[in-house]
Chain A
């Protein structure tokens, strides 16, 4: 089923010009986010997941980033907007939550002040009105006694509560798209589960689409419908969650899935030791020729070293960037 796409990213390329040279953190990626869906983005550290999200909202101020391509959101290319126009979108139509709940809240402002900031900004609400809306949001993210908690400072809240407050802040203007950058990474497992439930529930309630950026495949399996696998700034595979876990096509995806520990599977399937992907991610300054994954790939062929792989699409919306399927 092809629904209407909410966000359509084409040929997005983000480069940083630094002293040592030019780093291409995101290298010509394309993807769509449909209304009400959760799109998972997985990959190792430094593969460009976060930069993709930050590029969409143009939050990469320093070091100077060069963003090319188009990011269509509601028919408007976000990359063409001026600073005032993009500011009206940030936190309003598109919102973002960050990885570290410990440092994402300002230590000198109360929770209520921070949550009401976005409300006052985008809905032109008065201080009083924004405050009561903020308290309402805190209640919605299940912070106990929100009235009182709103008057507290971040250091008085636990990590899970801070992440809830961050979510309240991000959702306070009912955005149509939420960019969640590792929303549960800094939290312990039980709190992770609560946050996942909360995001699921709020997604239903506000009909928000979510781009879920993570390296936690378990989280992807639980929340996402479609998945993008990124490696060194490229989307190497796109598939529905079921397909991806059942039959990963790209050797990198296979490696990623092989490196998940499966409890109790060994006896049944005779599965061997935990696998790893050999080698390390090369520096973005020294991109390998041909396929970027070839130095680490277990099924490398001659052509992989010489030429970049073609994009292979199959009928069910899957795509893979690999010579194996060409």
Chain B
């Protein structure tokens, strides 16, 4: 018996992680996901290694070198206060990464529980949550964030909260839809039939089954979050100077667009690449993980 169990157990072990491996292989073969992944990787490395890549203070002005064109000393040129654009783009990646994570965290923290409760319980609870969601969705996401900034005030923390809240309805809708279909599954009924409490059904039976769409939406949400935060920065309503933030850099570079276009161009490219990375990765993840596209 032991002799037969041993190889069988190894075989089954292999089949268990081969699911992961198969998805990983698919992800690597998927060009979209690959490009997105590489962009995100570069972005992460830049953010983590910022002090190594650019040892001096990116916020220290040097007025004698104001608005210099790209050169050997400053590969991306300098801004109106003579600060290195390269340095500010590098440190800006930290700020935008913080925003991306923060925004998605707020969105998940509020949206997922509300979506789960709304979808699972249905009835009056669902009706209440959905009407609030409808109201929030009636505004374009960015307008909502803008309105929230008007109430909360400017700054990094408030940017994260406002953009995060503007994403909450998207998560509520997504999670509610998935929870609605999962709660009708027989295994949820079976869990109820053995006396499992609602809280445990929600956390152990429903949540893990809606993780895939949440993961995909999270990746896409990071892209949108960076973009919205940059837009707020551009309007001067986001992260305040002298913190290097891409949107704010773009905004201040706008004044010099004709005689020093590099000031606005490089932060713009940075925003573009970061958002592109998250969107491509999200699309790639969806292609690999969403069974509806799997034939």
Contact = CB atoms under 8 A, between A and B. Distances in A.
Interface of A: 57, 59, 61-62, 87-92, 95-96, 98-100, 103-109, 117-118, 121-122, 145, 148, 152-153, 156, 166, 169-170, 172
A91 B195 contact: yes
12 contacts: A59-B192, A87-B195, A87-B196, A87-B197, A107-B209, A118-B195, A121-B194, A145-B8, A145-B9, A148-B9, A148-B12, A166-B190
B5 A98 contact: no
A108 B209 contact: yes
Q: Which of A99, A145, A152 has the most CB of B within 10 A?
A: A145
Contact of B187 (A90, A105, A153): A105
Summarize B's interface: helix, strand, loop or mixed. helix
A59 B16 contact: no
Contact of A121 (B15, B185, B189, B196): B196
A14 B196 CA distance: 24
- Which one of B12, B16, B187, B189 has the highest number of Cβ atoms from chain A below 10 Å of its Cβ? B187
A106 B189 CA distance: 10
Nearest to A103: B186
Contact of B193 (A96, A106, A145, A148): A96
The 9 nearest A-B residue pairs measured at CB: A91-B194, A90-B195, A118-B194, A91-B195, A108-B208, A96-B193, A106-B187, A103-B186, A104-B186
Nearest to B187: A106
B193 to A, nearest CB: 4
B122 interface: yes
Given A103-B185, A106-B209, A59 B193 contact: yes
Given A62-B122, A90-B194, 8 more contacts: A87-B195, A99-B186, A104-B190, A117-B196, A145-B5, A166-B190, A169-B194, A170-B194
Nearest to B1: A145
Give the interface residue-count category, chain B: 20 to 34
Contacts of A172: 194
Contacts of B197: 87, 121
- Chain A, interface SS category: loop
Interface in B1-36: 1, 5, 8-9, 12, 15-16
Given A152-B12, A156-B16, A106 B194 contact: no
A108 B193 CA distance: 18
Nearest to A89: B195
B191 interface: yes
Contact of A117 (B122, B185, B191): B191
B186 A100 contact: yes
A57, A61, A156 pick with most chain B CB within 10 angstroms: A61
Interface string B197-230: 1001000110011000000000000000000000
Contacts of B194: 90-91, 95, 117-118, 121, 169-170, 172
A209 B189 CA distance: 21
A156 B191 contact: no
B9 A98 contact: no
Contacts of B192: 59, 61, 90
Contact of B186 (A88, A98, A152, A153): A98
Contacts of A156: 12, 15-16
Contacts of A105: 187, 190
Nearest to A113: B204
Contacts of B1: 145
A128 B90 CA distance: 50
Contacts of B189: 59, 98, 104
A148 B205 contact: no
A122 to B, nearest CB: 6
A311 B243 CA distance: 86
A91 B204 CA distance: 17
A106 B191 contact: yes
Contacts of B204: 106, 109, 117
Contact of A152 (B16, B122, B188, B191): B16
Contacts of A87: 195-197
Contacts of A57: 193
B125 to A, nearest CB: 13
Interface string B119-162: 00010000000000000000000000000000000000000000
